[in-house]
Amino acid sequence: MNHQLTISLDAMGGDHGPETVIGGANIVLDRKPDLKFVIYGEQAVVGPVLDAYPRVRDASVFHDCEISISMEDKPSQALRRGRYKSGMWRAIEAVKNGEANVCISAGNTGALMAMSKFCLRTQSGITRPAMAAIWPTMTGESIVLDVGANVGADADQLVEYSVMGSAMARALFDFDRPSIGLLNIGVEEVKGVESVREAGALLREAKLETMNYHGFVEGDDLGKGTVDVVVTEGFAGNIALKTAEGTAKQIGEYLRAAMSRTILAKAGFILAKGAFDRLREKMDPRKVNGAVLLGLNGVVIKSHGGTDAEGFAAAIELGHDMVANHLMSKIEKDIENFSEIRIRLEKHAG
């Protein structure tokens, strides 16, 4: 399906700035030549990079911004200093004003979330937005949320995350009824904190047509791919995400060290190079780069700050797919449906 969409880019965000952002846009144009971009940043920094990528320049409208949000800015500082003037704010505002379909930034996560909530507001029926990441598994890919937008969540919010995660899985993976699991310290219904147990009871009773509630899952189920969507609150989700990233790097370093230790090991590496290349490709974090800020009146994607152009391209493509497959309308419809079911359940219980 070919959708001509406009992507707004915060060119100043991330560890490597415009070179990664514009380079990523250039890669995406190979695969989606009809894309258009609205780019925000400082003319003196972004202009020369755009000139180096004439294809992106020709497919873009550039806006000079006097303020850039640094990775060290606290969310409250970023809002005070950068509202209306910074590239990050204006990239988000482009989605609000209908100038762009989706915003992508590799900048300060806290500032991006604060500005997105302030500018776009939450969708009707959503208490708090969540950040959802794609997770590579032994069976393919799954979605994990929340991975850091909020610390803590009550039962109702965990149910909202489940509904939003289900909508994202249907938009991204084309599933009719994705399986949903609540992250817990055990699979037994009596285990875990009260909010998780209550959320599990709500999802079991609701029997939503758009999802298959699996039950509780544990930490090792994330890598196994036991369910399509793993739901947790942001504190545990962020720790799980950072642990997985660190473990992948650790395994990579172990393999590098082992393969270079002796002449025999080096020879073995050469003979098994094809297998190691496939392993490297499977573990490449760039392929799953990009976390979706779910529950807002607009699609915003947070790219990893340390990624390269290929990784940023993956974040742009994720944003494209979320819009092209009507993520927001799926969330809106599912939340409305759950609210109606919840009212019926409460009346029946009463």
pLDDT in tens, 246-287: 777 777 777 777 777 778 767 766 766 665 556 556 555 566
Give the residues of the chain that fall short of pLDDT 70.
1-3, 265, 268-269, 271-288, 347-350
| Predicted TM-score of the model (pTM) | 0.86
The answer to whether the beta carbons of residues 29 and 349 sit under 8 Å apart is no
Residue 107 confidence (pLDDT)? 92
The domains of the chain are located at 1-126+295-325, 129-287
- The predicted pLDDT at position 2 comes to 44
What is the pairing mode between strands 212-217 and 60-64? Answer: unpaired
The confidence score (pLDDT) of residue 1 equals 38
**E strand or H helix at 18:** helix 18-31
**pLDDT value, residue 188:** 80
The reported pLDDT for the residue numbered 25 is 96
The Cα–Cα gap between 178 and 175 comes to 6
**DSSP one-letter string for 195-214:** HHHHHHHHHHHH--TT-EEE
Please tell me the distance from the alpha carbon of residue 98 to that of residue 138, in angstroms, as a whole number.
Answer: 39
Instruction: Answer yes or no: are the C-beta atoms of 174 and 330 closer than 8 Å.
Output: no
Q: Do domains 1-126+295-325 and 129-287 have the same CATH topology?
A: yes
Question: What is the model's pLDDT at position 117?
Answer: 93
CA-closest candidate to residue 56, choices 35, 42, 41, 40: 35
Architecture of domain 129-287: 3-Layer(aba) Sandwich (3.40)
CATH superfamily of 1-126+295-325: Isopropylmalate Dehydrogenase (3.40.718.10)
How far is residue 150's CA from residue 135's CA, in Å, rounded to a whole number? Answer: 19
